[in-house]
Amino acid sequence: MEAAEKILTKAKMPFCPGCGHGVCVRSTSKALENLGYGPKDVVMVSDIGCSGLVDPLFETHTIHGLHGRAPALGVGVALGLDNPNKKVVVIQGDGGATIGLQHILEASRRNIDMTLIVINNLLYGMTGGQMSGLSTNEFKDYKNSDDDADPYDVVNLAHQSGAAFSVRVNEISNFTDVLKEAINTPGFSLVELSSLCTSYGMKKISEMKGFIVEEKKLININPIGESKKRDTNSLLSNVKVLEKQFESNIEDSVGIVIAGSAGGGVQSAAKILAQAGILSGLYTTMKGEYPITVGTGFSVAEVILSKKPIHFTGLEKPSVILAVTEDGWTKVKNRVAHESRVLVDRKICADCSYDVKDFVKVGGKKGAALSAVSYWVKETGIFPVDALFKVVESSKYTAPLQKAIKSAEELREVVYSYVPEIKRKN
């Protein structure tokens, strides 16, 4: 630390005559110097408003941000520096504390090692003296404001959110000592300082009594918030590599739509089909569609199996549609094309013109989609069913998946209405 160097520059205070902000700035500087901080040990983070004019006054590192967001910016700086020898001090006004209250609560909740100084002059000084969320009702009455909602108590709110130290100070003579205590407290500290606005408030500090909230000091014993660093492994190292083990009879490409309900194994059946395709030397794509509430409603998956590399991953006209529940069928039935091979579960339409199978009956609710996939693979001979078994060998749920694949055998005696068309040309 460079204790001999001054924290303040020689720049003239930019505030109106009699403004209380100058006292706050000098007290902050004194507190830092008394604690032995040099200019390069400190990052001052400033907000918007009269309190946002402080940058040129400090010889420290400075960063001047947006209205109300300085506490959040300070959190990023403190976590990014991750250095207990550096001190992050954020300065904002009561307007900034109002618009950015969430950021104060978050810094408190995480107990980030930084100090927030809220200079409260009860109003928005830069835009004409409007009332803020910290303006007291007494002050609002004095200013003939219609708003009678009680002000936020940021000291209380910070404390209740977990701040290590939160305090309100009205007596100017106590500013430096309290700021020292705050800055010296590990974790998040908030200091609300009363300040005079001579342009839109009172002319003398003595006139402020009766318009400000009484002093308060609150303490929590909480661990200091930090961002944990860790060693990680490449995301490519845990990708399952699939080498060709089977042959496929496909000549060009085939697009399969699998339609069912949430929780019915539709997405995993599609993935098993796609992976079996890779094991059979094919290029594949797989995508899912489901409502944002993933646990209910339809679940639809599309798989493309192709002899050649796949560019466009959409399906203009599905070659095959496998529908196992009403939810899924409703979602995909308008996609049936002239050349589509359609297989539906009996519960969807027992007497419709499509091929009807008892997928749910033989595979169960969770296995019906994979049962349908298995049936279609076996029927077309696109590649051996063994490729499906091979994929599920390494699954956490090998036994039920094997059972679902095997269940398709129970559907074999059904006589097909026509030979499926699978060699679709793009």
Partner 1 sequence: MIDASRIITEALVQSGADVFVGYPITPSNLFYSYSKERFPEFLAGPDEISVLQWMCGYSAAGKIPVTATAFPGLALMTETLNMAYMMELPMVLIITQRLGPSTGSATTGAQGDLKFLDGIISGGFPMPIFSPSNFNDAWILSNEAVKTAVKFRTPVIILTSKELVMTQKSFDINSLETLEKIDRTPKEFEAPFQPYKAGIDMVPTFYPLGNDEYQVRFNASTHDNEGLIRKGTPESLANTWRLREKLEKRIDEYSFFELDAEDGANDLIVTWGVSADASRDTVKSMRGKGKKVSLLIVKTILPISQNIYDIIDSYKTITFAEENMTGMFKEMIFGKRKTSKIKTATKFGAMLTPSEIEEIVN
Which is nearest to 253 in space by CA: 313, 298, 207? 313
Cα dihedral 212, 217, 220, 226 sign: positive
**Is 231 one of the binding residues for partner 1 (CB under 8 A)?**
yes
**Is 232 one of the binding residues for partner 1 (CB under 8 A)?**
yes
> Closest distance between partner 1 and the C-beta of residue 14, in Å?
10
Please identify, using beta-carbon distances, which residue of 201 and 277 lies nearer to partner 1: 277
Q: Which of residues 284-323 bind partner 1 (CB under 8 A)?
A: 284-292, 310-314, 316
> Closest distance between partner 1 and the C-beta of residue 340, in Å?
16
CA atoms of 240 and 294, how far apart (whole Å): 25
CA atoms of 255 and 268, how far apart (whole Å): 17
**Is 234 one of the binding residues for partner 1 (CB under 8 A)?**
yes
Could you tell me which residues are beta bridge partners of residue 356? 344
| Start-to-end Cα distance in the chain | 71
The one-letter amino acid code at 115 reads T
Please identify, using beta-carbon distances, which residue of 312 and 418 lies nearer to partner 1: 312
**Is 246 one of the binding residues for partner 1 (CB under 8 A)?**
no
| 92 SS3 class | strand
> Closest distance between partner 1 and the C-beta of residue 136, in Å?
28
**Is 361 one of the binding residues for partner 1 (CB under 8 A)?**
no
Q: Which of 6, 26, 30, 86 binds partner 1 (CB under 8 A)?
A: 86
**Is 62 one of the binding residues for partner 1 (CB under 8 A)?**
yes
**Is 106 one of the binding residues for partner 1 (CB under 8 A)?**
yes
> Closest distance between partner 1 and the C-beta of residue 366, in Å?
21
Contacts of 293 (CB under 8 A, 6+ apart): none
**Is 66 one of the binding residues for partner 1 (CB under 8 A)?**
yes
Q: Which of residues 251-290 bind partner 1 (CB under 8 A)?
A: 271, 274-275, 277-278, 282-290
Q: Measure Cα distances from 148 to 98, 139, 144 in Å.
A: 16, 10, 10
Q: Measure Cα distances from 208 to 21, 27, 142, 301 in Å.
A: 15, 20, 11, 68
Could you tell me which residues are beta bridge partners of residue 329? none
Please identify, using beta-carbon distances, which residue of 273 and 385 lies nearer to partner 1: 273
**Is 151 one of the binding residues for partner 1 (CB under 8 A)?**
no
Which is nearest to 90 in space by CA: 33, 42, 128? 42
Which residues bind to partner 1, rule: CB under 8 A?
Answer: 39-40, 43, 53, 55-56, 59-66, 69, 72-81, 83, 86, 102-103, 106, 227-236, 239-242, 271, 274-275, 277-278, 282-292, 310-314, 316, 426
